[in-house]
Amino acid sequence: MPNFINDYVIEIPEIDFDPTDPRWVELYQSVTFKEYPGWEGDGYPFQTCSTDVVQNSTLVQWYIEKFSFLDLRSSNYISTKTTPGDGGDAGARNSINQNTVKGTLIKGDLSVRSILPHVDATRTTGILFPLTFPQYVNFYKNEPNGNDPIYVHEYKPVITIINTASWHGVSQTAIGNPRYQLQLDCYNSWEEMSSLINTL
């Protein structure tokens, strides 16, 4: 059964996932990463790649198929909780092919700076595949304003769904760098997700 940790995290041990599979290393060593500017345009300490090399990977396609019962199509959804900013091209978002599914490889370096607490601007949930360890994510009850997180999750070698419509961030750390993940964007609400994931 899925492991419902709290209102922020669901672990999915039912679906096979081995982050030590050498095909993951081959994949993230074969792509070109680009700096991620963030929705507000102030940047994050990671780089991303969602090119055809990633999308057409047999590994990524296998997981997209496994989660096809969820709403993985691309969307022009924009959260009303995000800090106003110019991050992103509204015209480009309005022309998104909503029949496509986006898998994104992420390479992070948290040794220099943290990922500040935020609500994801353009998705409601994220399906995460942690590929290196240790990795953590912090969750906050409301907009943090300097408050400590109410829950710190340490990723295990298991597929993990997180509530990206909640305030979350990652602390600066000298260990676990570079940090690699595959992420699938998802547009089901957390309430829908909690129900749908029980169909596994």
Q: Enumerate the domain spans of the chain.
A: 3-199
Question: Which residues, given as ranges, of the chain have pLDDT below 70?
Answer: 1, 37-43, 74-99, 146
- Write the DSSP symbol of residue 112: T
Q: How far apart are CA 46 and CA 37, in angstroms?
A: 9
- From the number of C-beta atoms within 10 Å of its C-beta (0-12, 13-18, 19+), residue 11 rates as middle
- Which pLDDT does position 97 carry in this prediction? 60
pLDDT for residue 71: 86
Pairing of strands 103-108, 179-186: antiparallel
> What is the architecture of the domain spanning 3-199?
Sandwich (2.60)
Residues 6+ apart with CB under 8 A from 180: 24, 28, 105, 106, 107, 108, 130, 131, 132
Return the pLDDT at 93.
Answer: 47
d(CA 129, CA 157): 8
pLDDT in tens, 124-181: 899 999 999 999 999 998 777 767 899 999 999 999 999 998 999 999 898 889 999 9
Chain Cα centroid distance, residue 101: 14
Q: What is the pTM of this model?
A: 0.86
What is the reported pLDDT for 3?
A: 82
